Amino acid sequence: MKWILFFGALIGLSVCGREKFFGDQVFRINVRNGDEISKLSQLVSSDNLKLNVWKSPSTFSRPVDVLVPSVSLQPVKSFLKSQGLEYSVTIKDLQIYREMDSIAGDFPKLATRVKIGHSFEHRPMYVLKFSTTEGRRRRPAIWLNAGIHSREWISQATAIWTARKIASDYGKDPAITTILEKMDIFLLPVANPDGYVYTQTRNRLWRKTRSVNPGSRCIGVDPNRNWNASFAGQGASDNPCSEIYHGPHANSEVEVKSVVDFIQEHGNFKCFIDLHSYSQLLMYPYGYTVKKAPDADELDEVARCAAKALASLSGTTYQVGPTCTTVYPASGSSVDWAYDHGIKYAFTFELRDTGHYGFLLPANQIIPTAEETWLGLKTIMEHVRNNLY
């Protein structure tokens, strides 16, 4: 099980401060004769590509599975193409799920991996629950949502880094320790697993879910326009081909419904934070109207504090304000739904950057982004802890 260690090591290194690349792929290469096998051996033995043969061919009719680190993807693809070697890309399992499992394994008293549902293509939806109590009583809880728009990779990456940070710092950092003494934290790093896999295998800039729209050739619904908060209002589209298509009805997307059902059944969430990119904004309701939310003044104050804490690390500046006028009108959003359902501390982060790389944020910015965002998240969570209602 060499490759699990390989993956685990790669991901584990991220918290130690080394660079981390997501998106390693498993290439299934067809080899039809001795000539092709020798070409493939040439590729695999190349030192600087750091390839890892997962399954070697025993006969010519069996394909070879090779683990290709993300940095080597381009040269390997070019080589295979130039040598006329056929291949396909397979992803056996999301790396992030393995890492979640690993965190739960490393911190069994604190963290558990919980399945809350499944995606359209039947991938599991996993949440990490951080709780210092085993009681059946539902403690006040915080929901951290990430990866609802699959192309915003810094969101899933920040979330999984944050997961390990929460677990590692409990008992060491007074802030997170006191937060967890009073509240539970639920973290959903990949709210749109089908979209995420699609961005890794077919289209890096895919945003929506991968559900089928009857009568249309276009696939997918914008999962952040699909919540029951002024559904199909201003700032969404009724065209299935649009990137902001709201879907046929609220909660039509099973990925959204899974979260809604879980939160409603739990009944005691006090805070909902949704991570997106890009633009460097920290926003609060509403997106669906310019009308001021009843708690807007308090939320604005909290957001400003959080943005200040975030900026204190590397000087990254975030703009603060209500969604509608800070970015654009958006109906059916997760944060508006949460707020209208009594979850007062509802915030949206638009993470780095402001457009230079946009969705394709370089991997060497993952840890700096996660570290500064952590300061902002802690500020919000501390305020929630001090102002439980």
Partner 1 sequence: MLPRRQRPPASGPWGPRPAVLLLAPLLLALQGVAAAPAGAGGPEDSPGLQDAEFPSGLLQQAARAALHFFNFRAGSPSALRVLAAVLEGRATVNPKKGCQVDLVFTTDHYNPEVGEEHLGKCSARVFFRNQKPRPAINVTCTRLIEKNKRQEEDYLLYKHMKQLKTPLDVISIPDSHGHIDPSLRPIWDLAFLGSSYVMWEKTTQFLHYYMAQISSVNQWKTSDDAIDFDYTVLLHEFSTQEIIPCRIHLVWYPGKPLKVNYHCQELQTPEEASGTEEGSAVAPTELNNF
Nearer to partner 1, 106 or 238 (CB): 238
Please tell me the distance from the alpha carbon of residue 64 to that of residue 71, in angstroms, as a whole number: 20
Return the range that interacts with partner 1 (CB under 8 A); candidates 41-49, 126-134, 355-363, 373-381. Answer: 355-363
Q: Does 358 interact with partner 1 (rule: CB under 8 A)? A: yes
99 is catalytic: no
* Ramachandran sector of residue 226 (left: φ over 0; alpha: ψ -120 to 50; beta: rest): alpha
Among 199, 226, 334, 373, binds partner 1 (CB under 8 A): 199
Q: Does 228 interact with partner 1 (rule: CB under 8 A)? A: no
Please tell me the distance from the alpha carbon of residue 121 to that of residue 364, in angstroms, as a whole number: 31
Task: Scan residues 66-105 and list those touching partner 1 (CB under 8 A).
Answer: 70-71, 73-74, 77-78
Tokens of 132: 């210092």
Decide if 168 contacts 15 (C-beta within 8 A): yes
- For residues 34-65, one letter each, b for 16 or more C-beta atoms within 10 angstroms of the residue's C-beta and e for the rest, the string is eebbebbeebbeeeebebbbbeebeeeeebbb
Q: Return the number of other C-beta atoms located less than 10 Å from residue 380's C-beta.
A: 22
Binding mask 136-175 for partner 1 (x = CB under 8 A): ----------------------------------------
Beta bridge partners of 118: 124
Binding mask 296-325 for partner 1 (x = CB under 8 A): ---------------------xxxxx---x
Please tell me the distance from the alpha carbon of residue 111 to that of residue 162, in angstroms, as a whole number: 13
255, 350, 372, 382: the catalytic one is 350
Tokens of 80: 């295979």
Decide if 285 contacts 359 (C-beta within 8 A): no
Decide if 303 contacts 344 (C-beta within 8 A): no
Tokens of 218: 């276009």
Q: Does 288 interact with partner 1 (rule: CB under 8 A)? A: yes
Q: How far is the CB of 52 from partner 1 (least distance, A)?
A: 18
Binding mask 230-269 for partner 1 (x = CB under 8 A): x-xxxxxxxx-xxxx-x-----------------------
For 132-233, where are the E strands, in sequence order?
A: 141-146, 184-188
Among 37, 44, 114, 360, binds partner 1 (CB under 8 A): 360
Among 45, 362, 387, 388, binds partner 1 (CB under 8 A): 362
Q: Does 22 interact with partner 1 (rule: CB under 8 A)? A: yes
Among 4, 5, 13, 205, binds partner 1 (CB under 8 A): 205
Interface positions with partner 1 (CB under 8 A)? 21-23, 70-71, 73-74, 77-78, 199-200, 204-205, 207, 218, 222, 230, 232-239, 241-244, 246, 280-281, 288-291, 317-321, 325-329, 331, 354-363, 365
Active site residues: 350
